[in-house]
Amino acid sequence: MPALSVLDLATVGSGSTAASALADTTRLAVEAERLGYDRLWVAEHHGMPAVASSAPAVLIAHLAAATKTIRVGSGGVMLPNHSPLVVAEQFGTLEALHPGRIDLGLGRAPGTDQLTARALRRNSGSGPDTFPEDVVELIRYLADADDPAAHPTAVPGRGYLPEVWLLGSSLYSAQLAGLLGLPFAFAYHFNPGPLDAALDTYRTTFRPGVFAAPHTMVAVTVLCAPTEQEARWLAGSSALGVLQLRTGRLGPLPTPEEAAAYHFSEGERALVEQTLATHVIGDPETVRTGLVALTRRTEADELMISTRVHSYQDRLRSLELVAALGLDDRRATPAA
């Protein structure tokens, strides 16, 4: 069975604040370490009232300082929003402070709407079209090779290489990850359709690079509760949150009570049911069955668990129940 990790968005629930959400993510990192999860990643999103993880490098520094052994990282940094040199300096600093514990997951999407993306980039010439070149440039800043003529140089950076991943929800990043010999994480939790094709593309195109062999992770939405009925009740928050996101009515993540009181139209209900169809929701046995089936289907080396519920206590309990399922981990070894 695969290794298990956690994806957290520092979720801001209805009636809460960004400060409380960040405090909850910090507590969750400590608990995830206690429960034996391999990694905890935070994702870069901008302009979303329900997500407080807009500055991954800052948050990762805080999470790494609050923990001792769990790997912490980005799932991901949206590289088109940033200069590769700046990202190299940020994550080189993190790796120097917390050696062997930092992951740098890189994404090609902006993580926001186009107006906000323009505000983030300002005069930068980077964007989705330059993503392959930007990834190569970033890794060059961090690689251990000592070239005295290299300029510019990231300091800290060179020699402080975190574990670099490519993230994606399509065949594009899957192929790039394979060609560069990087591990690949597929975003099954929000775009499940291309899963099989993306993993096949990655494995087919893989050439040894940073990793000696292909290494895959699948991010999946999981909500586990003592009973199926309670799990479905708690999942109402995510269902209404998905609808708000898809229809541009952004706000904090609703409570289950708010979700239960909302009157979904027929079209809205169909949209939500289609989105939740690939989520693994239920009691421990149902969740175990779902995760085992996903692992057999994908042969993934790792599963990354995303749990969007309103309450921190319910999120932690879900992770505790999943950890107690007894799914053994597998770890790959980077190439020498």
Average pLDDT over residues 268-292: 93
Among the residue ranges 135-144, 148-157, 223-232, the one predicted with the least confidence is 148-157
pLDDT tens digits along 49-100: 999 999 999 999 999 999 999 999 999 899 988 899 999 999 999 999 999 9
Instruction: Give the pLDDT confidence score for residue 159 in this predicted structure.
Output: 87
From the number of C-beta atoms within 10 Å of its C-beta (0-12, 13-18, 19+), residue 238 rates as: buried
Q: What is the pLDDT of residue 249?
A: 87
pLDDT above 80: residue 172 = yes
* Per-residue model confidence (pLDDT) at position 332: 40
The helix/strand/coil state of 104 is: strand
Mean pLDDT of 262-271: 91
Torsions phi, psi for 11 (to 5 deg) = -65, 125
Nearest to 306 by CA among 2, 11, 3, 1: 11
Q: Is the entire prediction scored with pTM above 0.85?
A: yes
The answer to whether 218 touches 188, Cβ cutoff 8 Å, is yes
3-state SS, residue 303: strand
Joined tokens for residue 35? 């429960």
Which pLDDT value is given to residue 327? 81
Mean pLDDT of 170-186: 96
Domain ranges, ordered by start, for the chain? 3-217+298-305
Q: Is the pLDDT of residue 158 over 80?
A: yes
Minimum mean pLDDT range among 50-64, 105-119, 250-264: 105-119
Question: Superfamily for 3-217+298-305?
Answer: Luciferase-like domain (3.20.20.30)
240 membership: H or E segment, kind and range: helix 236-246
- The pLDDT-based confidence of 330 (bands split at 50, 70, 90) is very low
245, pLDDT greater than 60: yes
Average pLDDT over all residues of the chain: 90
Helix (H) or strand (E) holding 72: strand 71-78
Task: Look at residue 113 and tell me whether its pLDDT is greater than 70.
Answer: no
Q: Residue range 220-239: average pLDDT?
A: 96
Q: Are 61 and 22 in contact (CB under 8 A)?
A: no
The rounded distance, in Å, linking the Cα atoms of 16 and 251 is: 11
Q: pLDDT over 90 for what percent of the chain?
A: 75
224 versus 190: the higher-pLDDT residue is 224
Task: Give yes or no for residue 125 having a pLDDT over 60.
Answer: no
pLDDT of residue 328: 54
With tokens 């629930």, the residue in question is: 13
8 Å CB contact between 252 and 13: yes
> Does pLDDT of 265 surpass 50?
yes
pLDDT at 334: 44
